[in-house]
A and B are shown apart, each in its own frame.
Chain A
Amino acid sequence: MKNEEKHLYNLNELSDYKVASDDPDVRGWDVRDADNRVVGKVENLLVNKNLKRVVYLDVHVDNTIIDAKHDPYGRPNHIDIREFVNKDGENHVIIPIGMVNLDKANKNVLAAGIDHRTFSETKRYQHGTPLNKEYETVVMNSYNRQVPPENVYEDDNFYERDEFNRDRYSKKRF
């Protein structure tokens, strides 16, 4: 991926920042899909420094996701289809923070709106690769495959979408 102007940081990279004291640090928690199956583990938190909050969970996916047969997700003919293949070593995927619930008692991240197939068909990346806006848009379009795909966003207003806001996203129906 191209190394564009950086807007997302791994929390591990920011030595002078930490998770707010009244919020849980979910690194190391299991991630479960809509069927409550474990699809991976949170390895890192991707933050936007301007907004001072986590916007994505960086998930190291399970082998069940990697081994699942991948089919490019279908699109109506009038919309451009982006096809991609997940390569060997690409075993990380990002999940918008607004699309998950936190089970603090059992230390689980619940992605109730994303099923196993969606996870396996979403484009992954190799750990350590810088993320760009194009990849973020592709992932968002994958998770929201019921709606027409978005174009690549330009600024931090992208994070005002429902997928990054717990109150608004909770009102969506899956």
Chain B
Amino acid sequence: MAEIKIEKKKPVWPWILLILIIIVGVYIYWSYNDNIENQNETEIVTDTIQEMNENYNETPVDTTTMEMEMDTTTVQ
């Protein structure tokens, strides 16, 4: 002979909440990592420009000797 029991359904909302928390957590983690990478790129570009300027300032070009040599050859 038959017996059919009934039971309470398990609520779904805790699982939905957990999934949302995970999604938000992953989003925050990616955003944080993205910001760190952007900061590193800015530092590299700034360092490179500064290095180029320093090199340029350290090696000035001597133009006086070149003018004197040119005058001597045209007199004849």
- Contact between B2 and A102 (Cβ–Cβ < 8 Å)? yes
A155 at the interface (CB under 8 A from B): no
- B4 is contacted by which of A24, A99, A165, A170 (Cβ under 8 Å)? A24
Q: How far is the CA of A19 from the CA of B4 in the complex (A)?
A: 7
- Contact between A167 and B1 (Cβ–Cβ < 8 Å)? yes
A6 at the interface (CB under 8 A from B): no
Report the interface size for chain B: residues with CB under 8 A from the other chain: 9
Chain A interface size, as a band, is 20 to 34
For residue A52, which residues in chain B have a CB less than 8 angstroms away from its CB? 5-7
B51 at the interface (CB under 8 A from A): no
A65 at the interface (CB under 8 A from B): no
- Contact between B9 and A20 (Cβ–Cβ < 8 Å)? no
For residue B7, which residues in chain A have a CB less than 8 angstroms away from its CB? 17-21, 52
Q: Which residue on A lies nearest to B7, using beta carbons?
A: A20
Which residues of chain A from 1 to 26 have any CB-CB distance to chain B below 8 Å in the complex? 11, 14-21, 23-26
Q: Which residue on A lies nearest to B11, using beta carbons?
A: A16
Q: How far is the CA of A167 from the CA of B1 in the complex (A)?
A: 7
Q: Which of the listed residues B1, B2, B3 has the most CB atoms from chain A within 10 Å of its own CB? A: B1
- Contact between A101 and B1 (Cβ–Cβ < 8 Å)? yes
Q: How far is the CA of A86 from the CA of B8 in the complex (A)?
A: 36
Give the Cβ gap from A55 to chain B, nearest Cβ, in Å: 9
Q: How far is the CA of A15 from the CA of B4 in the complex (A)?
A: 17
A97 at the interface (CB under 8 A from B): yes
- Told that A52-B6, A100-B2, A170-B1 touch, could you supply 9 new A-B pairs with CB distance under 8 A? A16-B8, A23-B3, A23-B4, A54-B5, A54-B6, A98-B3, A100-B1, A166-B3, A167-B1
Pull 26 A–B residue pairs with CB atoms less than 8 Å apart, ordered by A: A11-B6, A14-B6, A17-B7, A19-B5, A19-B6, A19-B7, A20-B4, A20-B5, A20-B6, A21-B7, A26-B2, A45-B4, A47-B6, A52-B5, A52-B7, A53-B3, A53-B5, A54-B3, A54-B4, A54-B6, A97-B4, A99-B1, A100-B2, A165-B1, A166-B3, A167-B1
